[in-house]
């Protein structure tokens, strides 16, 4: 299955590895930020409900 990368295995694997790591970090931060925003909004909307009575 795994292609034979020959003597360039490090360069290729490191490239793909670094790319996936960076993208994973970016996606992770984005998802976390999204969750945070949803939580913050839900909280203030809940408080609104209460004060609106």
Near other proteins in 1-53, by CB under 8 A: 1, 3-9, 11-12, 14-16, 18-19, 22-23, 25-27, 29-31, 33-34, 36-38, 40-41, 43-45, 47-48, 51
CB burial of 14-34 (b: ≥16 within 10 Å; e: otherwise) equals eeeeeeeeeeeeeeeeeeeee
Q: Which residue has the tokens 């299955």?
A: 1
Could you say which DSSP state residue 34 is in? H
Per CB under 8 A, residues contacting other proteins are 1, 3-9, 11-12, 14-16, 18-19, 22-23, 25-27, 29-31, 33-34, 36-38, 40-41, 43-45, 47-48, 51
């Amino acid at each position: 299955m795994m292609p034979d990368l020959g003597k360039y295995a490090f360069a290729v694997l490191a490239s793909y590895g670094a790319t996936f790591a960076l993208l994973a970090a970016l996606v992770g931060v984005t998802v976390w930020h999204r969750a945070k925003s949803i939580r913050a909004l839900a909280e203030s909307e809940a408080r609104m409900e209460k004060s609106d009575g």
